[in-house]
Structure 1
């Protein structure tokens, strides 16, 4: 993960942490408005109401700021994962819950997740950062696929982690298109529920989790 300059501002206590958060909040706004690749340190400083010199007391460049924001995202995902369903309860409902959790996380962290996608096109370091973030989800999904294989629900010849990476890619890119870029056109879901239900349905059937819902098919909310 890209490292930030934590030593100096941790020494100044609560005021320093507040200033750091102000800078990160400003960066999120600038990344959302201008895109990570077009964002400038001076724009972030202006948005934060700070001088560029103050900003440089905390971060060397926008790369370090994005790295700090991605650390916050990873911490959020790990905290959410603490409340996840146990591995032996991987049903269509718990699967939908897992998809919805990532969808909510992406919605909450759009500037940084779109930012790392764009940054990875020009900076190999961010390819590794994104792979580290993906690793958390891919390993969890892969572990659940192994259990489904042992239960006879999923093809035992399937590599569980390759399958997990493929399923995760479906979710990630759908979030990028529908949330990150707000792409319009054929196939765009009418609501968050429709997007989550569709992805969950495809995952469930790909993995052999096909028990019917007690309440019948879920309808997209309007």
Structure 2
């Protein structure tokens, strides 16, 4: 059913896909769908769980003692997994805008990504890196950056006047994360407010 759902979601989109379509693609009767899942949403949640597991597995499989390298590994794992699960990610964003219960489930799923980013922070701190930022806010910002950028890249076709070079995009995301991790600012909010404008 999962494999069939991925095919149907890719062809028709999550919102317009029907349980009958999924069952047919799986070579089963519509009624047999309910032997596995209670609803189409539950099936989507199972697929999104696979997405998260793929990101974590690909990152953990290649971890190194170098936090800068691990940042790149994490970005590449997220990027490739987002592309692999694009129909499911579109479905997740669509459903989260219309279903408060699913939106809460999605926030919980995001928290797993935030914990994975926090693990990268811990490995960096073990090498002597002083992050200097609220780590939970920083991790939330990183996850949001990856989500939003991938959505713009894969779903909307990218921004106008921005060259679509996949490797450059991955390395830009990586470098933003690295700079925040390895070269954090020590300027506080009060100092920022008091700083003179740039000429």
How far 1:187 sits from its partner (Å)? Answer: 5.3
How many matched pairs?
183
Which of 160, 163, 167 is the aligned partner of 1:186? 160
Q: TM-score, normalised by structure 2?
A: 0.78
SS at match of 2:61: coil
Give 1:22-101 correspondences, 5 Å limit: 23-85=1-63, 89-91=66-68, 93-101=69-77
Task: Give the RMSD, CA atoms, in angstroms.
Answer: 2.6
SS at match of 1:183: coil
Contact 2:118 2:135 survives alignment (8 Å): yes
How far, CA to CA, are the matches of 1:168 and 1:187 in structure 2?
Answer: 25
Render the CA deviation track for 1:164-184: whole Å, top value 9, x for unaligned: 1011111111112212x1524
How far 1:149 sits from its partner (Å)? Answer: 6.4
- CA 1:78–1:146 in structure 2 vs 1: closer, same or farther (change >3 Å)? closer
Which of 152, 160, 171 is the aligned partner of 2:146? 171
Do residues 120 (structure 1) and 81 (structure 2) align? no
Q: TM-score, normalised by structure 1?
A: 0.71
Contact 2:158 2:164 survives alignment (8 Å): no
Render the CA deviation track for 1:134-175: whole Å, top value 9, x for unaligned: 222212323443665683553x2x211101101111111111
| Runs of 5+ consecutive residues of structure 2 not aligned to the other structure | 185-199
Q: Which residue of 1 aligns with 2:189?
A: none
How far 1:188 sits from its partner (Å)? Answer: 4.5
Q: Which residue of 1 aligns with 2:137?
A: 162
- CA 1:67–1:152 in structure 2 vs 1: closer, same or farther (change >3 Å)? closer
